[in-house]
């Protein structure tokens, strides 16, 4: 079963790519609906790197609802409007209701928006499988709609490069 998301967000593709690798940005996307907390005593890494296995605790309203393993990989493709960067989370739910899934394949693709390269075309595909998938799909679909609205709202905050001339002293 699949859940798809496609939107144009108000930041450039480089900023979106950085945000995809940021555990802090990930937590903000799900917040305040879902909380992510590190299971590693050293906390979350600064950035999610390819090959990383990051175990997290999920909670809703402070109540623990399961643990998830995030496993990151990359791939790249060329399309008509430019380079597409794809981050894949092929981790798996470890405990909780989502642990009834046998398949968890979440891919997030970013590329310059076709008509405005200062914006990003953001695409996601979540593939789930297993006997629990038909029961969990409606709830996950709802969470993905929430996720899409949060991504759109947060995207303008992801660009951290100051605009040209901002904060510089005027010419004499």
Mean pLDDT per 10-residue section of the chain, whose length is 172 residues: 97 96 91 89 93 94 93 92 92 94 96 94 97 96 94 92 45 39
φ/ψ (deg, to 5) at 141: -60, -45
Judge whether 172 lies within some domain: no
Judge whether 164 lies within some domain: no
Judge whether 14 lies within some domain: yes
SS3 of residue 151 by DSSP: helix
What is each CA distance from 170 to 98, 160, 164, 165, 166, in whole angstroms? 56, 22, 12, 9, 10
The number of distinct structural domains making up the chain is: 1
Range of the domain at 58: 2-158
Judge whether 53 lies within some domain: yes
DSSP letter, residue 49: -
Quote the pTM value: 0.87
Judge whether 116 lies within some domain: yes
Q: What is the pLDDT of residue 38?
A: 93
Judge whether 17 lies within some domain: yes
Judge whether 163 lies within some domain: no
CA neighbours closer than 13 Å in the CB half-sphere of residue 47: 9
| Whether the Cβ atoms of residue 110 and residue 81 lie closer than 8 Å to each other | no
Do β-strands 82-89 and 103-113 pair in parallel, antiparallel, or remain unpaired? antiparallel
In angstroms, the CA 1 to CA 79 distance is 26
In angstroms, the CA 106 to CA 124 distance is 7
Judge whether 128 lies within some domain: yes
37: domain CATH number?
Answer: 3.30.530.20
């Amino acid at each position: 079963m699949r859940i798809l998301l496609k939107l144009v967000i108000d930041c450039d593709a480089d900023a979106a790519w950085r945000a995809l690798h940021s555990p802090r940005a990930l937590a903000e996307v799900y917040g305040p609906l879902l909380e992510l907390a590190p299971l590693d005593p050293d906390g979350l890494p600064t950035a999610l790197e390819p090959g990383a296995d990051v175990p997290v605790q999920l909670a809703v309203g402070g109540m623990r609802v399961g643990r998830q393993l995030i496993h990151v990989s990359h791939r790249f493709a060329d399309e008509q409007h430019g380079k597409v960067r794809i981050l894949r989370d092929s981790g798996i739910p470890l405990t909780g209701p989502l642990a009834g899934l046998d398949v968890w394949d979440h891919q997030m693709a970013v590329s310059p928006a076709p008509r405005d390269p200062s914006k990003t075309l953001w695409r996601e595909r979540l593939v789930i499988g297993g006997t629990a998938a038909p029961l969990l799909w409606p709830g996950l679909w709802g969470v993905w709609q929430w996720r899409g609205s949060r991504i759109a709202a947060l995207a303008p905050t992801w660009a951290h490069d100051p605009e040209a001339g901002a904060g510089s002293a005027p010419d004499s």
